[in-house]
Structure 1
């Protein structure tokens, strides 16, 4: 009996050696069964299959330990591809956004019959409260000049105060030194809007003290030697009575200076005063 057990163990050992040899041939050559390989497979196929089921996971683990860079490199490639796709998507979104802003600018310019030069804000000045300016990427070489009105799709942004060949500094409407002629909607009553109360508030001074300004009334620029007429400015939110020959009011501007990007400089006046047609429609059909 002991002799038979030793003989059985010897046979199993031989079969295991043959099986591992065949598995090694599979991994090294990748060739299918044939010749001696096919004959041996027929003889010990069952044992080989069982051992293979155990050996292959072990082989993969050993391979990953022997060649760790293979998996790291693949992970790095996938990360790079993902980053590239994200950049491409962001670029497409940005191009779409700029196209929409340009279309909105063109629509406003068409309403007012303004000749404009589009530009982008490339730098912001010292917005400490005493100086509110931005720099745009258009200048004298593009046909710009000082004291021209700058607007975006929402309305008045400011005026050009200095130029180089390819850049211009724009004084924003909220700058304490800014003062721009304004007119109340649907009237010929004139005044001026000035900055100095922060980016979200303008002060409107009406020249005719006999007229009582009301909250909800809207303002546009009135034409002058340099400024074009009809550019939307903002809406009256609060009225303050002042002794003397004027009446003042607080105005909420249409433009948010914190979101400035695409703007346009008006370099050509319309043939006629556009009146109030550039103002946005009132919400809910309210006519004030």
Structure 2
């Protein structure tokens, strides 16, 4: 078995480590010495050797910049995520603000409609559109508890929409003017022609039974006539339109595509006269021709003369009573 030789590396390593430690300690002590000569030597050392080590400091500088950039990127990413969350919240608030602005505009438009001062209204919100191919109607969130009565007129901020047809405790149904069962009397202005507006499941209901169609022009204003007490008079319904077939129809003033808030008009039935005694009767007719003389008054019956009375000559004796 071969014997190992003497290990010279370990003592040399120890000596080198000791010399390096001694050199570092000496350099440290020299760097800490506070004297003008030592200060001059340190300045000379820095000026001579430090600029030459710039190539060695470049990787460290780049690493430091990369770390700083990563930290900045992390901060920017966190800020970006926070801004995204804030933007989503702002978009939700914007949608709510736009919706409220539209609702406010519609309510203001309803308040700006000039109606008869004797008419009051109840504003309700459309819950759902229950219309179909054979029935045009909507549901409102006002009902019997709010004083709604069947048959009252309903309008939006622009014109007449329909009438109440069915009242519940909290909801009510509105039959639109476009429903086939809807027929209301209207008046065409300025000619004053009366007509009947008939729904036919289209956005342009027909105008029937016009007295003089030649006096009606497209664009004429159409209002409710109030005949029959179905609707209050002078409520805007729309304008006259003429189709290609020459038939007169009505372009609705109400925005049927965006029915959200509707006004139910309180209309009271006309007063009925039931007490005939309160009427002023005409005077009796006088007879025609000359007036007849009045009838003579009846003469009183003669009584018997008193006892001892003397009859004069020429006096007739009283007749004896049986």
In which range does the TM-score fall when normalised by the shorter chain? 0.5 to 0.7
Seen in structure 2, the aligned counterparts of structure 1 residues 197 and 166 have a Cα distance that, compared at 3 Å, is: closer
Structure 2, unaligned stretches of length 5 or more?
A: 1-19, 25-45, 271-322
Aligned to 1:141: 145
Aligned to 1:181: 185
- Separation in 1, partners of 2:187, 2:96: 41
Question: 1:212 offset after TM fit, Å?
Answer: 4.2
Question: 1:61 offset after TM fit, Å?
Answer: 6.8
Structure with higher RCO (Cα < 8 A, 6+ apart): 1
Greater Rg over alpha carbons, structure: 2
How many positions carry a matched residue from both structures? 220
- Separation in 1, partners of 2:243, 2:77: 68
Contact 1:240–1:249 (CA<8 Å) still a contact in 2? Answer: no
- Separation in 2, partners of 1:105, 1:218: 19
Could you say what the CA RMSD is over the residues aligned between the two structures, in angstroms? Answer: 3.7
Question: 1:94 offset after TM fit, Å?
Answer: 2.0
Deviation by residue 1:141-198 (Cα, 9 ceiling, x = unmatched): 2221111111112101111111222221111111111111211113543221011151
Residues 268-279 of structure 1: matches in 2 within 5 Å? 268=267
Task: For residue 112 of structure 1, give the secondary structure of its aligned residue in structure 2.
Answer: coil
Aligned to 2:195: 191
Residues 69-108 of structure 1: matches in 2 within 5 Å? 74-108=79-113
- Separation in 1, partners of 2:138, 2:57: 75
Aligned to 2:164: 160
Aligned to 1:30: none
Aligned to 1:229: 233
Aligned to 1:169: 173
Question: 1:105 offset after TM fit, Å?
Answer: 0.6
Seen in structure 2, the aligned counterparts of structure 1 residues 92 and 171 have a Cα distance that, compared at 3 Å, is: same
Contact 2:154–2:160 (CA<8 Å) still a contact in 1? Answer: yes
Aligned to 2:255: 256
* TM-score for the superposition, normalised by structure 1: 0.64
- Separation in 2, partners of 1:84, 1:127: 38
Structure 1, unaligned stretches of length 5 or more?
A: 1-9, 15-42, 243-247, 272-288
Seen in structure 2, the aligned counterparts of structure 1 residues 112 and 53 have a Cα distance that, compared at 3 Å, is: farther
Contact 1:189–1:206 (CA<8 Å) still a contact in 2? Answer: no
Aligned to 2:286: none
Structure number having the greater strand percentage: 1
Contact 2:140–2:174 (CA<8 Å) still a contact in 1? Answer: yes
- Separation in 2, partners of 1:188, 1:73: 72
* TM-score for the superposition, normalised by structure 2: 0.58
- Separation in 1, partners of 2:125, 2:200: 25
Contact 2:159–2:235 (CA<8 Å) still a contact in 1? Answer: yes
